[in-house]
Structures are given as C-alpha cells and as structure tokens.
C-alpha cells in the first residue's frame, strides 16, 4: 500500500486571485467551483495532482521550502518575459552565459518558482 498525491497546497492571502494567476501561467483551467472571494480555489492540471490554494490569515515570511519548477514550451527567456507580464517578479537570475541555469521568479504573493530551459534548449546544449 502507498499514498497517492491528491494536490499541491499553497497557503495564500487571496485563494481565487492566486489560483487565477497560476491558471494563466500553466494554461490550465480553474476548477468550475472556484469563485472570486472563495477561501479555497483549485487549478486542474491535465495529469497528476491539482494545485490547491488555501486562504490563510498569516503572510508569507520566508523562502519557500517547496517550489514549482516550470519547463516552458517556448524558450526560457520568452517564458520569463511572459510571466513577468502576468505579474511575476524576478527574484534571482541563475542563468549562465553558456545558456545553462534557470531564473527564480515569485508569484504575486511572493511564492518562488523556477523557470528552466525548454526541452529544445536542453537538447541543443547537449548536442554541441
């Protein structure tokens, strides 16, 4: 017997608005029962667990102990620019001059996440 992961939970100040941000980031729909003002909201992923946003009274105070890593379908740079346009902020630039590395961004509530190289960028680096 094993456990099955149901969801990845994110504590936040505004569950619906943060779920809406991540819905746009991932191109995945909000759960049909998630509504503005709800204390809980969900983003339905095509595979695996869902993202569950839970409103809590206390603010985020320190670095995440768990974070999401995103592998874009476009280039890493194009995705970073898109996410900044959605309201993310750049926290740390770990990109290297040879194309390796990643960018650390934060969502509108300060939760950090990484943007990695795309599969095509990784393949191009390994074949050079």
Residues 6+ apart with CB under 8 A from 75: 117, 118, 120, 121
CA distance 105 to 110: 9
Nearest to 37 by CA among 61, 58, 59, 20: 20
Residue 39, CA distances (Å) to 6, 13, 56, 68, 109 in order: 19, 9, 8, 22, 15
Residues of the chain with pLDDT > 90, as a percent, come to 82
For 9-58, the pLDDT digits (tens) are 999 999 999 999 999 999 999 999 999 999 999 999 999 899 999 999 99
For 48-61, the pLDDT digits (tens) are 899 999 999 998 88
């Amino acid at each position: 017997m094993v456990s099955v992961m149901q969801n990845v939970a994110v504590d936040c100040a505004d569950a619906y608005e943060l779920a809406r941000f991540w819905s746009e980031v991932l191109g995945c729909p909000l759960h049909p029962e998630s509504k503005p003002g709800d204390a809980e909201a969900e983003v339905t992923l095509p595979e695996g667990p869902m993202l569950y946003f839970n409103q809590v009274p206390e603010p985020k105070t320190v670095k995440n102990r768990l974070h999401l890593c995103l592998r874009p379908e476009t280039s890493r740079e194009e995705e970073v620019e898109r996410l900044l346009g959605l309201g993310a902020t750049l926290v740390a630039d770990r990109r290297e001059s040879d194309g390796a590395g990643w960018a650390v961004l934060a969502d509108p509530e300060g939760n950090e996440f990484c943007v990695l190289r795309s599969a095509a960028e990784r393949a191009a680096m390994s074949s050079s």
